[in-house]
Structure 1
Amino acid sequence: MKNTIKIIASLFLLFVFTASVAKGQDWNVPASAKNKQNPYEASTKNISSGKKIYNINCKSCHGDAGMGNMLPLQPVAPSDLGSQAFLIQGDGEIYYKINKGQGAMPTFEKTLSDEDKWMVITYLRSFDKNKKESKQVAEVVNPEVSDVNLVLDINNEEKKINANLSGVTEKGDRVALQGIELSIKVKRSFGYLDISGDDAYTNEKGNVTIQFPADLPGDREGHVNLLVKVTDDAYYGEVSVDRISSIGLPTDPVNPLDERAMWGTRANAPIWIILSYVGGVISIWGVIFLVLFQLIQLPKMAKNKE
């Protein structure tokens, strides 16, 4: 009898706990928050940026947006943030939930900037069928691919760099990857100079084209070392191309050691340093000779006193 009572009590407590947790997932979004509107346009750049932020901060629990592969937590599993059931909410409601968190959902109020949160919402809206039909949101959907390939085409005369990004689908077709941010850098003496600009995102053909700075120097033949890579390496892996090209401004190299400067060799040291050094050496040796002279004079001075 006692065991039966314990079992019933345990089941009752489990029911109460489950109900309380489930209730904790009910959101009470203030009306003022619901009225918030996304201030950012649904551009390829913004959607791609939102996807990157989503993959880092949301994917581990919510899975791939629109795929239904959420983490199977109990008693309440995370929502599929790309589903129509979720996207029926307004932008302000989604923003509030990302910002405040509740229950198992952490708060991102201080973890993500306001812009980052809106970028995530912009990305999620790309799965909204109603928005797609009205063409209010640009759709950026890249299939799962392998063998990601980055190809460079450099026009030295026009000083243009074109990069193309593609991958192979499960069916074996090579397709362009759209909306992916590329980093384009030039190796300098003490690191890399980023020349990508703000719009280095692949278009629908997988291309990014940038204008190389006309005044960026290379060696005597204009050779520079270019490094182009996919910034979202957490998703696509390390994809990069390192190439030497004569796209730079031909420049005679200047050896800093040839100048009369602080870092120059002895012959090219600044005059004031040379004079200071010589003056210091003369002063020190002068003091030494003076001391020696005085020491030599001590016996004579002692005899004179006697």
Structure 2
Amino acid sequence: MKNTMKNIAALFLIFVFSGSVVNAQGWTVPASAKKKQNPYEATSKNISSGKKIYNIQCKSCHGDPTMANMLPLAPVAPTDLGAQNFLIQSDGEIFYKVNKGQGAMPAFEKTISDEDKWMVIAFLRSFDKNKKVKQQVAEVKNPEVTDVKLELNVNEADKTMLAKLSGVTKKGKRVGLQGIEMSFLVKRSFGYLDVSGEDPYTNESGDVQIQFPKDLPGDREGQVNMLVKVTDDAFYGNLEEKRVVTLGVPTDPVNPLDERAMWGTRANAPIWIIVTFVGGVLAIWSVIFLVLFQMIKLPKLAKSKD
């Protein structure tokens, strides 16, 4: 028993020590990799794309940037990627580390595209307060506006939808708002289906147009419930527009309860379940009748023995 405990303690110390050694060694990033700069501008569109990728690929371990809510792994916890001591690195250093991985962090060189990795770096740079790393900034500057409106136009002939986001300037002129991400969502049985496409950002006129999927089922008339909204914009809020549009493929609704299946009603239960149930009931009642019959015979058997 003592030897077993000693072995366990030794293995634990080796594990902790090896983790400490890995952490102490740090990363060795080639000079050529450090010089790389993000080829994508830090626009609101790219930052938003990077945020989506980060939430899918990185958040489960690294948590929310600047919130220090990383996954408590041992012996070395993941880094807060929004911390300033992390962001003093160059774009190339971060890109290299994401590619190669180390310790518990996997290598993403072949699992995430280079473009997506640069988008994540653009997102992380939005938390950089030190500004020690020069970055390209090409943000869209919309004027200060009031009475922000979201309008939706539907062309049922070619199955397109056009959303327009606009506001009134201080001079009283209504202008389009550029570079704002929009979400086009179709209501389905268990939530919403995003049909926004790859570039759901408003242009200089405040417009964004999408092509509705040509094979998406609707009701008998082809109608679907649409929800179009501004995607989490800090300036304009969560504006949204709901509308029933005839853009889906006309489809006769199928009631799952009408099928002969496990979840069907009694009349539509699978044949094997009905046979099994009836057979089981008959078997149980047969046993009951057999027991009763034997009990009736007991007095006669007792008299015959007397």
Q: Does 1:294 align with 2:294?
A: yes
CA distance 1:35–1:116, change in 2 (3 Å): same
Distance 1:235 1:95 in 2: 32
Q: Does 1:116 align with 2:108?
A: no
Q: Is this contact kept in 2: 1:219–1:253, CA < 8 A? A: yes
What is the Cα deviation at residue 131 of structure 1?
9.5
- Overall identity of the aligned pairs, in %: 64
Residue of structure 1 in register with 2:163 after alignment: 163
Q: Does 1:278 align with 2:278?
A: yes
Task: Extract structure 1 runs of 4+ deviating beyond 4 A.
Answer: 30-34, 41-44, 47-53, 91-97, 120-124
Distance 2:297 2:39 in 1: 92
Q: Deviations over 1:6-42 (max 9, x none)?
A: xxxxxxxxxxxxxxxxxxxxxxxx9778623114356
What is the Cα deviation at residue 304 of structure 1?
2.2
Distance 2:232 2:303 in 1: 91
Question: What do you get for the CA RMSD once the two structures are aligned?
Answer: 3.9
What is the Cα deviation at residue 264 of structure 1?
1.7
CA distance 1:175–1:123, change in 2 (3 Å): farther
User: 1:239-278 maps to which residues of 2 (within 5 A)?
Assistant: 239-278=239-278
What is the Cα deviation at residue 122 of structure 1?
8.2
User: What SS does structure 2 have at the residue aligned with 1:154?
Assistant: strand
CA distance 1:198–1:254, change in 2 (3 Å): same
Q: Deviations over 1:86-140 (max 9, x none)?
A: xxxxx9647879xxxxxxxxxxxxxxx874332454899xxxxx999xxxx6441
Q: Is this contact kept in 2: 1:95–1:117, CA < 8 A? A: no
CA distance 1:41–1:139, change in 2 (3 Å): closer
Distance 2:170 2:273 in 1: 70
Q: How many residues align?
A: 226
Q: Deviations over 1:204-238 (max 9, x none)?
A: 11111111111111111111000111112444222
Residue of structure 2 in register with 1:190 after alignment: 190
Distance 1:120 1:168 in 2: 33
Distance 1:298 1:174 in 2: 100
User: What SS does structure 1 have at the residue aligned with 2:229?
Assistant: strand
Q: Is this contact kept in 1: 2:150–2:163, CA < 8 A? A: yes
What is the Cα deviation at residue 46 of structure 1?
1.3
Segment of structure 1 superposing worse, 267-276 or 221-230: 267-276
Residue of structure 2 in register with 1:305 after alignment: 305
Distance 1:208 1:194 in 2: 15
Tell me which amino acid in the other structure corresponds to 1:214: K
Q: What TM-score, normalized by structure 1, do the two folds share?
A: 0.62
Tell me which amino acid in the other structure corresponds to 1:254: V
CA distance 1:120–1:184, change in 2 (3 Å): same
Tell me which amino acid in the other structure corresponds to 1:147: D
Q: Does 1:224 align with 2:228?
A: no
Q: Is this contact kept in 2: 1:177–1:205, CA < 8 A? A: yes
Segment of structure 1 superposing worse, 152-161 or 246-255: 246-255
Residue of structure 2 in register with 1:237 after alignment: 237
Distance 1:51 1:285 in 2: 65
Tell me which amino acid in the other structure corresponds to 1:289: F
CA distance 1:123–1:212, change in 2 (3 Å): farther
Tell me which amino acid in the other structure corresponds to 1:279: G
Q: Is this contact kept in 1: 2:178–2:205, CA < 8 A? A: yes
Q: Is this contact kept in 1: 2:164–2:206, CA < 8 A? A: yes
Distance 1:131 1:228 in 2: 33
Q: Is this contact kept in 1: 2:45–2:179, CA < 8 A? A: yes
CA distance 1:244–1:142, change in 2 (3 Å): same
Tell me which amino acid in the other structure corresponds to 1:118: A
Distance 2:257 2:51 in 1: 49
CA distance 1:141–1:121, change in 2 (3 Å): farther
Residue of structure 2 in register with 1:205 after alignment: 205
Any unmatched runs of 5+ in structure 1? Answer: 1-29, 59-78, 80-90, 98-112, 125-129
Distance 1:141 1:212 in 2: 30
